[in-house]
Amino acid sequence: MQATRLLSLITLTILLACASLTHAQDWRAEGVERVVAIADVHGAYDAMVETLGNVGILNDDLEWAGGEAHLVIVGDLLDRGPRSRDALDLLMRIEEEAAMAGGKVHVLIGNHESMNMIGDLRYVSKAEYSAFADDETRVQRNRWFRAWARRDGGNRANQRDRFESEFPAGFFALREAFGPHGRYGKWLLQKNVVAVINGTAFVHGGLPPEVADIGLEGINRDLKQDLVDYVEAVATLTEAEVLLPTDAFYDHESIVNNYLPPLDAPQDVLDAVAAVTKLSDASVLHSDGPLWYRGNVACSEIVEAHRLEASLKAIGADRVVVGHTPTPTRKVLQRFDGRIVELDTGMLSFYYKGSGNALVMEGGELRVFNQSGADAYAPMAHPRGVGRRAGALSAEALQQLLETGEIVSKSRERSTGRTFVEVSDDTHTVTATFNKRRGKGFYPDVAAYRLDRLLGLDMVPVSALREVDGSDGSLQFFPEKSKDEAERSSSGRGGSAPCALPSQWEAMYVFDALIYNEGRSLQRMRYLPSRWNLILVEHERAFKAARGRPPHLAAAPMKISDGWREALAELTDGVLAEQLSDVLDKRRLKYLAVRRDQLLAE
């Protein structure tokens, strides 16, 4: 008996080890000669086909032609566009064809796949519902109408009309198809969140800080399991009509919290109620998880680079390819010396004004091929974007414009005392604030801007030395349509900023301590509402010849991260003198170095 039990235990251990190895092989691959990746199709089926055809993944008959290549879909096949279902069907077919040819198709879960499975249908288009209309039965619609009507407290006379308007033909067939036992839901729930191929990680949103703690297996096993468990729990509660297919994800938790189960309620229903309550805040479903996280592409290098390094180390990767956030140029971009590659170029052209681009990794090189067949290019550097400017001018071009452009207007804003000027080179016109020299050899806005560039902070707008109407001073680019912190906080907006506001504020505190800035008011903290990236303006009360911190920061906790330590250590006395001696006098330079050392000591 004991020998039999021992043999069974050994057999079980071997089976579990094999299963673990199978999963590990599924989400990690080495020695792949050719990798092709696309992101964020969003129902743009024709663009996807054209893009994959241009790189030899599909032939003219839409069959797998990639041989032993690996194709990676970096999430978001669904929503907004008209032909999401066609995209899914094509990939499900060529997945099998690729395997027979020795290749592989990696479809990664994006936030929009997750949304369709959990019942967040805010972005499903009419065409996507229509694609499921023929699958929907009258019996199915009538069942859910009766359930919906029992809960609805509206006028019975127009209930049917409202129901048909709110839940178009195909709605319930789509919900069923993306459930845990439906054709697409069952398939998607078998997919990974992250794949690592030849040392390159692929993930839809990004690698949030928690990845450093849980690693690759933790993402694809534990976090993904939270999604599986949630979808299965919702299906159980829907069959019991505790939840309805018409209930939105954001209402699930309150509905189950108000549910009073009868004494004979089945155990699986009770378990499902507990699961929905527990998992509603699971990171895989929310903005701090890998399906949604935008910090990799939105936070400045000094904030994000070391977080990313820790995450990459934890999953055994050298770089990460992400989608989710459309690139500002609609080209494939790279950040942090290529450790991040941004692949979402707005393939759904009518919505995002972009096109399909495929990233091809082969022979140690990265090349990008557009759906149009235009010449391939290497991923481009992500432009510094402190404030939106006409023509997407680079920081260098904008500085040149401020230094040499024609000043076409000048005005003073009485409420703030700001002097605004418009500067033009006949092609671009920008608005800037003019600040007179604050003392001999002292131009604080230019000093703050240059220091920002040295640190990799990316918060201070482009600033340049400039004489205006015979007065020596500087011009600082002023982002139009920006809002200050008082306006932001009173509106309650910014909570979903791609780079979390607390992370940005922490960086501002360290920067203001470094430059001893006594003038950081709410009006000198600005944001563009489209992204809520912090913009720090007007530094005339900074760079005091003093030790320590300005009074308002005396008790503030300073989070001197590894990124800050590295950046501050590179600000040697020689670098400071070389870069700032024409805009800061010797005494201010001396105390800047003193405060640098104090921060490093912390």
Q: Which residue has the tokens 């001197």?
A: 560
Which residues lie below 8 Å from residue 364, measured CB to CB, with a gap of 6+? Answer: none
Measured CA distances, 237 to 189, 273, 355, 373, 561 (Å):
18, 7, 40, 49, 45
Residue 567: φ, ψ to 5°: -65, -40
CB count within 10 Å of CB 138 equals: 7
Between vectors from CA 317 to CA 58 and to CA 310, what angle results, nearest 5°? 140
* Calpha distance 507→97 (Å, rounded): 50
Which residues lie below 8 Å from residue 100, measured CB to CB, with a gap of 6+? Answer: none
* Calpha distance 333→418 (Å, rounded): 36
Q: Which of 42, 70, 112, 324 is catalytic?
A: 112
Which residues lie below 8 Å from residue 487, measured CB to CB, with a gap of 6+? Answer: none
* Calpha distance 420→476 (Å, rounded): 10
User: DSSP states of 114-160 as a string?
Assistant: HHHHHT--TT--HHHHHTTGGG--HHHHHHHHHHHHHH--S-GGGHH
Angle (deg, nearest 10), helices 562-569 and 501-514: 30
Between vectors from CA 330 to CA 327 and to CA 334, what angle results, nearest 5°? 50
Q: Is 70 a catalytic residue?
A: no
* Calpha distance 566→561 (Å, rounded): 9
* Calpha distance 289→286 (Å, rounded): 6
Q: Which residues are catalytic?
A: 112
